Every structure is written in structure tokens, then in C-alpha cells.
Amino acid sequence: MGMDLNRYHPNNLKRVSSGMINVHPIQRGGILTEEARRVLLEWADGYSVCDVCLEGRVDLVKNPPIDEFKQDVAEFLGMDTARFTAGARHAKFAIMSAFKNGTLVLDSLAHYTSYIAAELNGIRVYEVPNSGYPDFRIDPEGYATTFERVKEETGRYPDLALLTHVDYRYGNLADARKVGKICEEYEVSLVLNTAYTSGIMEVDGKKLRASFIVGSGHKSWAATAPIGILATNYELADSVFRTSKLRGDWSGRAFTKKELALFGCSPVYGLPVMTLMASFPRVVERVKRWDEEVEKARWFVREMEKIEGVELIGERPKNHTLMHFESPAFHHIAKKHRKRGYFLYHELKKRKVFGVQAGMTKNFKLNTYGLSWEELEKVAWAFKDIAEKYGVEVED
Ligand SMILES: Cc1ncc(COP(=O)(O)O)c(C=O)c1O
């Protein structure tokens, strides 16, 4: 046998980021709380939450209290009810499966998973443009204009709208309230993709007039992957969480409780849902401290921009901890460096900072969410120290 099974030995399964400050753009909000770490072993076995499943559906399990938990999560998001999905992407797919072959208007900064969910459901996509370089802002009025464009082309307003609350490229915070108002005026249901917001900042679907809130447990709710959240109101719950109508023609079996878009039973059975639950009390508290996170992010941007040839792109001032820098200074160094574009990654690693994508120097993204002031200072120092090492000017 050619397999080297030793490579799977636990001693060989160490994370490359171990022991470093991890500023990976998608990871900061998914770091487990102490409480979540405490349930890891108890609930680590495969279908652990199914010990006492009386209804054949994870979301109805009473012990552990998943049934109550889904309602608490819905309340926390200002919605009526919720389900747990295999990530934000599955939540979007589930919603769009109720709008098959329809039309969707979404922001032009939407994540690829929004487009894929639409494509898989035969939905035609129309984009709301953004303002372009260097801010890339989404103007809420663009939704009204695009709704009109859809009407001109198809004779009807769209079936659905989607707004990426904070986008993955620039970390811009969209004006969800204004978009929600426009959607309400046009009677178009709004999906608010809060993959980068709910769980770290307050999101109230009722106030924002969202029909659906999509969240990502592993991105922003301190949970183990994969887990997403799909919250909605009672009016729409029946269509999105519609149940099976099929009957086997030989067996005569029916599956009337099984929700189609959740594959019959939620696809998250063990650790993902239990870590989400164990972290929840802390998540409910932490969203109230969002202002401090923004303050830290803005401080960090100021420090980074002291390096000549490093500049934030996306909205200013920042309203989120995910940020994107343009860095001709580092790109210039990379051109002459033995390690080429990988030099920044290696230099950061030497300074115990991880998460800037290997090979990136022209521009890069990082996320400061949840870093202490001390950690933040270390990260800023690391970038400045690298710049100075290669003769780049750094302001005091
Ligand atoms: C804006 C946005 N939405 C959705 C996703 C996908 O989330 P999930 O992994 O929970 O499906 C991402 C992942 O980066 C994202 O950036």
C-alpha cells in the first residue's frame, strides 16, 4: 500500500497557525469561547445530539434544548423562528429553493455562495452596482433602480432581494435599514446575509425589515464549522421550511415532518450546534461591545497607514473589523525578494502573526475582531518592523 497513514497521526495534525496571533479574515469571529471548548469532548461523537430524538428532526430535540435554542436565536435576531443549516451558503440555498426559477436582485459585492445558490435554483440574478475604486460602496437607491430595471425586462418586480450586510472583500457595512425600507415599499422579500455581522454586532431583522436573516456560526458566532443560521418570520416560514409531500409508491411511506430544504433533518447534528449553543450567552453579551471593536479597527488602520505605501481601501472610516489594504510598498519589496510574494507571509510568521494570505503583497486582507489592545499593537508593530527592515518609511 502506498498510503502514508502516519501523516494522519495526531502528533502530525497540528495547525500551522498554532501559537500565533491569527488575523485571518474569515476566522476571528469563529474562535470558540471557553464555554464552547468545555463541551467539545462531551458532544464530539457523530450524532451526539440525537440521543433523545422523538420527532425525527434535530431542531425539535428537547434534550439538549435545541428546540428552545432555535427560538432564542430567532428572538436574538428579531425574527420569529430559525433553523440551523450547513453554513450561510446552505441557508441561502434553502431560501432560494422557495423562489425557484424566479428573479433576484443582489449587491455586486455579494459572496459567490449567493450566486451559486441562485444558479442552483434556476434564479436569474440582477446586480446592484457599487461605487467602484476606492470605496466600493453600495448605494441603497441602487436597489430601487435595479427593481425598475427588472420590471422593464421581465414585466414584474423581482421575487427576492439580497443584501450582503458586510462584504467579504472590503468589509464595508451596507445600509441595511435603507435597503430594507426600499424592499418593503416594493413588496420584495429581503434576504440579509449577516455572515460577517450577526454574532459579533447587533442585528435586528424586524427593525431592518428583513424577511430572512442568514448567519454563519463558524464565521461570527464562535462555533465549530459547519453551521449556519436561517431566521425568518412566521409568514414565510411555511414556504421555506415546507415539508415533504412524497409517498413511496411501493412502500407507501411518507415523510410529512421532514423539511425539504433542510434535507429532512438539519444537517448539523453534533459539535457545530452544541458549540453554537454553548457560546450563545457570550455572543449575546459580546455584540453589545461592538463599538470598541470598531474603535480598535480604526486605530489599527491609522497605525498601518503610517507605513508609506500602505493604504486602506473600502469605506472610510471603517465600520467593521475586516479590512483590505493596498500595499505597493510591500509589492515593491516582493519584486526583489528571494521569496517573492511570499516574503510578507514569512516575515509575519517570524513575528508570530498569521492570517495574511501567503503570496499576497500588492494588497491583503485581515480581521482584527476580538484582538486585545496588546495583540493589536503587536500586529501593527510586526507590519511596521517588516517595512522598516526593507527601508520603507514609517511615521512615528
Ligand atoms: C459574505 C459571505 N457570505 C457567506 C459566506 C459563506 O459562509 P458559510 O461558510 O457559512 O457558508 C462567506 C464566506 O466567506 C462570506 O464572506
Give residue 195 CA to ligand 1 midpoint distance, Å: 6
Confidence at residue 317, expressed as pLDDT on a 0 to 100 scale: 98
Please choose, from the candidates 229, 187, 197, 227, the residue with its C-alpha nearest in 3D space to the C-alpha of residue 212: 229
Taking only the tens place, the pLDDT of each residue in 371-393 is 999 999 999 999 999 999 999 99
Taking only the tens place, the pLDDT of each residue in 7-21 is 999 999 999 999 999
Contact at 8 Å (CB) between 192 and 214? yes
Query: Does the annotation flag 193 for ligand binding?
Result: yes
Confidence at residue 232, expressed as pLDDT on a 0 to 100 scale: 98
Contact at 8 Å (CB) between 304 and 383? yes
Domain residues of the chain, as ranges?
Answer: 16-30+305-389, 34-287
Taking only the tens place, the pLDDT of each residue in 322-355 is 999 999 999 999 999 999 999 999 999 999 999 9
Q: Which CATH architecture has domain 34-287?
A: 3-Layer(aba) Sandwich (3.40)
Q: Tally DSSP H helices, then E strands, for the chain.
A: 13, 12
Atom of ligand 1 nearest to the CA of 193: 3
Give residue 138 CA to ligand 1 midpoint distance, Å: 18
165 lines ligand 1 (CB under 6 A): no
CA atoms of 86 and 81, how far apart (whole Å): 17
Give residue 90 CA to ligand 1 midpoint distance, Å: 10
92 lines ligand 1 (CB under 6 A): no
In 10 A of CB 359, how many CB atoms?
A: 15
Q: Can you read off the three cell numbers belonging to residue 175?
A: 445600509
Q: What count of Cα atoms within 13 Å lies in the side-chain half-sphere of residue 160?
A: 29
Query: Does the annotation flag 217 for ligand binding?
Result: yes
What percentage of the chain reaches a pLDDT higher than 70? 100
CA atoms of 246 and 256, how far apart (whole Å): 8
Contact at 8 Å (CB) between 309 and 392? yes
Give residue 84 CA to ligand 1 midpoint distance, Å: 15
Query: Does the annotation flag 332 for ligand binding?
Result: no
Confidence at residue 392, expressed as pLDDT on a 0 to 100 scale: 97
Taking only the tens place, the pLDDT of each residue in 113-160 is 999 999 999 999 999 999 999 999 999 999 999 999 999 999 999 999
10-37 mean pLDDT? 97
How confident is residue 62, by pLDDT bands cut at 50, 70 and 90? very high
38-51 mean pLDDT? 97
Atom of ligand 1 nearest to the CA of 216: 10
365 lines ligand 1 (CB under 6 A): no
Confidence at residue 307, expressed as pLDDT on a 0 to 100 scale: 98
Give residue 116 CA to ligand 1 midpoint distance, Å: 12
- Please spell the DSSP secondary structure of 41-59, one letter per residue: TTT-STTGGGTT-SSS-GG
Q: Which residues of 318-333 are buried (b: 16+ CB within 10 A; e: fewer)?
A: bbbbbbbbbbebbbeb
DSSP conformational letter for 323: E
Domain 16-30+305-389, CATH class in plain words: alpha beta
Confidence at residue 162, expressed as pLDDT on a 0 to 100 scale: 99
Taking only the tens place, the pLDDT of each residue in 293-328 is 999 999 999 999 999 999 999 999 999 999 999 999
Query: Does the annotation flag 264 for ligand binding?
Result: no
Query: Does the annotation flag 88 for ligand binding?
Result: yes
215 lines ligand 1 (CB under 6 A): no
Residues 6 or more apart from 125 whose CB is under 8 A from it?
103, 104, 105, 106, 115, 118, 119
Confidence at residue 366, expressed as pLDDT on a 0 to 100 scale: 98
What percentage of the chain reaches a pLDDT higher than 90? 99
* pLDDT reading at 1 higher than 90: no
Residues 6 or more apart from 249 whose CB is under 8 A from it?
none
195-218 mean pLDDT? 98
Within the chain, strands assigned E span 21-22, 81-85, 103-107, 124-128, 160-164, 189-193, 212-216, 228-232, 311-313, 322-326, 353-354, 363-367
164 lines ligand 1 (CB under 6 A): yes
Give residue 104 CA to ligand 1 midpoint distance, Å: 18
Atom of ligand 1 nearest to the CA of 167: 1
| DSSP bridge partners of 164 | 193
User: What are the phi and psi torsion angles at 179 (to 5°)?
Assistant: -65, -40
Atom of ligand 1 nearest to the CA of 227: 10
Average pLDDT for the chain:
97
| DSSP bridge partners of 81 | 232
In 10 A of CB 153, how many CB atoms?
A: 11
